[in-house]
Amino acid sequence: MRHARSWRWIVSLGGIVLALGGVALLGLGAATRPTWGDPARPVWYYGRLVPFGELLARGVEPHCHDGLGPGIITCYDTNEELAAATGLDLPGTDPIRVQALRNTMRASALPPQGSSYVPVWYYGRLVPFEDLLKQGVEPHCHDGRGPGIITCYNTNEELAAATGLDLPGIDRTKVETLRRTGAVAPAQCAYYAVVWEHIYFGGRNFALCYDYNDFRSINFNDQTSSIFIPSGSGASTYFEDINYGGGRRTFTTSVPDLRTHNFNDVISSARRGN
Q: What is the pLDDT of residues 142-160, one digit of tens each?
A: 999 999 999 999 999 999 9
Q: How far apart are CA 49 and CA 101, in angstroms?
A: 22
CB atoms within 10 A of CB 261: 12
**Spatial strand order in the sheet of 269-272:** 245-251, 236-241, 269-272
Domain 120-272 has CATH 2.60.20.10: yes
The pLDDT of residue 93 is 97
CB atoms within 10 A of CB 50: 17
Q: How many CA atoms lie within 13 A of 98 on its CB side?
A: 16
Confidence label for 37 from pLDDT (cuts 50, 70 and 90): low
Q: How far apart are CA 263 and CA 260, in angstroms?
A: 8
| Mean pLDDT of the region 237-246 | 98
Question: Taking the alpha carbons of 210, 211, 214, 215 in that order, is the dihedral positive or negative?
Answer: positive
Asked if residue 269 has pLDDT above 80, the reply is: yes
Confidence label for 114 from pLDDT (cuts 50, 70 and 90): low
Asked if residue 20 has pLDDT above 60, the reply is: no
Residue 266: strand, helix, or coil: coil
The overall average pLDDT reported for the chain is 88
- Classify strands 48-51 and 42-45 as parallel, antiparallel or unpaired: antiparallel
The pLDDT > 70 percentage for the chain reads: 85
| 254 vs 14 pLDDT, higher one | 254
Closest of 180, 78, 101, 193 to residue 142, by C-alpha: 193
Q: How far apart are CA 54 and CA 171, in angstroms?
A: 37
Report pTM.
0.83
The DSSP element (H or E) to which 6 belongs, if any, is helix 2-32
- Domain boundaries for CATH 2.60.20.10 within the chain: 120-272
Asked if residue 76 has pLDDT above 50, the reply is: yes
Q: How far apart are CA 224 and CA 227, in angstroms?
A: 7
The pLDDT of residue 59 is 97
Reported as a single tens digit per residue, the pLDDT across 185-220 is 999 999 999 999 999 999 999 999 999 999 999 999
The pLDDT of residue 208 is 98
